[in-house]
Amino acid sequence: MNRQWWHNKIAYQIYPKSFYDSNGDGIGDLPGIIEKLDYLSYLGVDILWLSPIYQSPLADQGYDISDYYKIDPRFGTMEDMDRLITEAKKRNMYILMDLVVNHCSDEHLWFQKAIQDPEGEYGNFFYLADEGEKKPCNWRSYFGGSVWSPLPGTGKQYLHMFHKKQPDLNWENPRVREEIYKNINWWMEKGLAGFRIDAIINIKKPLPFSDYPADREDGLCSPEVMLANASGIGEFLGEMRDETFAKYQAFTVGEVFNEKPEDLEKFIGENGYFSTMFDFHEAVIGHSPKGAYDNRPVTPEEYKNACFTAQAKIGDTGFYSNLIENHDEPRGVSHYLPGPPCEAAKKMLAGLYFMLRGIPFIYQGQEIGMENTEVSSIEQIDDISARGEYETALKAGLSPEEALAAVSLMSRDNARTPMQWEDSPGAGFTKGTPWLSVNPNYHRIHAADQMEREDSLFQFYRKLIGLRKDSDYGETLVYGSFAPYLKEQKNLMAYFRKGPEKTLLVMGNFQKEPQEAVLPGVAARIVLNNLPHTEIKENKIMLEGWQYVILEVK
């Protein structure tokens, strides 16, 4: 494998609206990110991915772009963006923007022109159909309801895989692709390191549109069925790589769900369409086809098996990007750890996913152990996806209380509450009123405490990051192979990372009770431990509840 500049890097996702508000309007902004660059540099992360900051009506919090060449004034100015890129470079950090090109906003000029003249040039930028008796297909949008909505005042309808304010762009039209590549190159010229590529697997539709068997009482079918039936996406993705990213050695990470094993080489192998893509095997555990209200909690065994399946699938074909949370998922520590998460358990989860083969991503606030938030009414929920799921739950017969309880476990607001900087009003995120309520636990969980306290989760993340860059262990942790260990032992997650010179054994006791595990050989050194002590007797290790260790073994 040819070595790339990003192989040993650590990425950090910023959700700008909730990161740091520099001017007291309650909305996080670019100057706020610049102010916190030293914090991020102290943490040790290298690549910063910014969720969208382009001009947008924020119907889906910026994943609905109305001008790809402008910064939304709520986030700052283009000068702020240029300054962020420059200031990041000074600290050897790289900036990724979010590339949202499966769809744009219904307020984008292209869509406005399509409404004015559906038969004209811009009509063909979207998927339009005559508004007949029947919709062209029975696909359900990701946020609930049909993917088809009327194109106002035209007698036509248009397709949206997500919200109706997010019309899908017609990638079959070469003019659309040309506009997209032009925009990507324009941003790359500004000095970006690359992009996180949103919802990209949806750009290829199986055409002509047709119905698939309905899977709920609404008569619609899951959008995943359309993904499974689409073929030929590689032509678009290969063209995009050649026209844009390849020219800049860009780092790109694709948001890809449901990838087929045979696609991995093409997607993220040598000269793949992307540098890497997220491993979502863990994120989808327990998801019900009926809707989020019917999701099940994740067990430690399921979490382990999902990680191991993904690692086996990728082998050394390329690198997955590993994560426990992002702006679309619940907080990892609330989702994957059974019961109220203690700090030792948070460290264990951090250490387990971080040392998997791949590129570790940290989502803002994860490094201080931020948790899911509580809501007492649906009005407090901003997330349009959770609102759609709430409706689905009510239709399925749940009471409003039950629906709210179920939906609050997966609401994307959990990850979007403001970053908890300190124990002061507004959690140090804003001096004004935050756009989304802060999690009331900020008195207990905040960055100021964690940075100061030697045994904090934050300091533990710094150690994890340090190991990947360590001259003794970095090579093994970045390039070493992966192999499961004692896979059948319940609530123990253990694996080897083997390099040409060193072998590391990563172990986590995924329960509050202690458990014993047999070691494969002599432990030469304890490289990392989340607790003050370790008990090793001959060939056995006695792990306390939630204990996590990395051992160098001979």
Give contact residues for ligand GLC (rule: CB under 6 A).
Answer: 60, 63, 100, 162, 198-199, 255, 327-328
Angle of CA points 208, 212, 217, to nearest 5°: 140
What single string gives the DSSP state of each residue in 499-550? -SS-EEEEEEE-SSS-EEEE-SS-EEEEEEESSS--EEETTEEEEPTT-EEE
Token pair belonging to 457: 């989760």
Residue whose entry in the numeric block shows the structure tokens 């998927």 = 127
Token pair belonging to 229: 């039936």
SS3 544: coil
Shortest Å distance, C-beta 108 to ligand GLC = 14
What single string gives the DSSP state of each residue in 289-324? TT-GGG--PPPHHHHHHHHHHHHHHHTTSS-EEE-S
In whole angstroms, give the CA distance from residue 340 to residue 444: 14
Shortest Å distance, C-beta 34 to Ca ion = 12
Of 166 and 530, CB closest to ligand GLC: 166
Binding site for Ca ion (CB under 5 A): 21, 23, 25, 27, 29
Shortest Å distance, C-beta 166 to ligand GLC = 6
Of 241 and 327, CB closest to ligand GLC: 327
Token pair belonging to 55: 């001009």
Which option in ligand GLC, Ca ion, none does residue 139 bind, with CB closer than 5 to 8 A by kind? Answer: none
Q: Burial, 219: exposed, middle or buried (Cβ in 10 Å; 0-12, 13-18, 19+)?
A: exposed
Which residues touch 410 (CB under 8 Å, ≥6 apart)? 292, 295, 330, 386, 389
Of 283 and 549, CB closest to ligand GLC: 283
Which option in ligand GLC, Ca ion, none does residue 199 bind, with CB closer than 5 to 8 A by kind? Answer: ligand GLC
Which option in Ca ion, ligand GLC, none does residue 309 bind, with CB closer than 5 to 8 A by kind? Answer: none
Which option in ligand GLC, Ca ion, none does residue 413 bind, with CB closer than 5 to 8 A by kind? Answer: none
Of 95 and 344, CB closest to ligand GLC: 95
Which option in Ca ion, ligand GLC, none does residue 25 bind, with CB closer than 5 to 8 A by kind? Answer: Ca ion
Residue whose C-alpha is closest to residue 457's, from 340, 359, 299, 345:
345
Shortest Å distance, C-beta 432 to Ca ion = 8
Of 199 and 506, CB closest to ligand GLC: 199
Which option in Ca ion, ligand GLC, none does residue 21 bind, with CB closer than 5 to 8 A by kind? Answer: Ca ion
Token pair belonging to 62: 């910026």
Contact 106, 122 (CB under 8 A): no
Q: Within its chain, how far is the Cα of 96 from the centroid?
A: 13
Shortest Å distance, C-beta 96 to Ca ion = 21
Question: Helices (H) and strands (E) in the chain — how many of each?
Answer: 17, 21
For ligand GLC, which residue has the nearest CB? 63
How many other C-beta atoms lie within 10 A of the C-beta of residue 535?
12
Shortest Å distance, C-beta 525 to Ca ion = 47
In whole angstroms, give the CA distance from residue 534 to residue 250: 43
Shortest Å distance, C-beta 169 to ligand GLC = 12
Q: Which residues are catalytic, by number?
A: 198, 255
Of 60 and 80, CB closest to ligand GLC: 60
Shortest Å distance, C-beta 327 to ligand GLC = 6
Which option in ligand GLC, Ca ion, none does residue 391 bind, with CB closer than 5 to 8 A by kind? Answer: none
Phi, psi of 366 (to 5 degrees): -60, -35
Q: Which amino acid is at 533?
A: H
Which option in ligand GLC, Ca ion, none does residue 63 bind, with CB closer than 5 to 8 A by kind? Answer: ligand GLC
Which residues touch 307 (CB under 8 Å, ≥6 apart)? 281, 282, 352, 353, 356, 493
Token pair belonging to 508: 């986590």
In whole angstroms, give the CA distance from residue 264 to residue 261: 6
Of 17 and 135, CB closest to ligand GLC: 17
Which option in Ca ion, ligand GLC, none does residue 337 bind, with CB closer than 5 to 8 A by kind? Answer: none
Of 199 and 492, CB closest to ligand GLC: 199
Residue whose C-alpha is closest to residue 16's, from 98, 103, 102:
98
Shortest Å distance, C-beta 107 to Ca ion = 22
Of 100 and 386, CB closest to ligand GLC: 100
Phi, psi of 37 (to 5 degrees): -65, -35
CA atoms within 13 A on the CB side of 465: 21
Contact 411, 404 (CB under 8 A): no
Contact 328, 366 (CB under 8 A): no
Residue whose C-alpha is closest to residue 440's, from 492, 361, 380, 373:
373
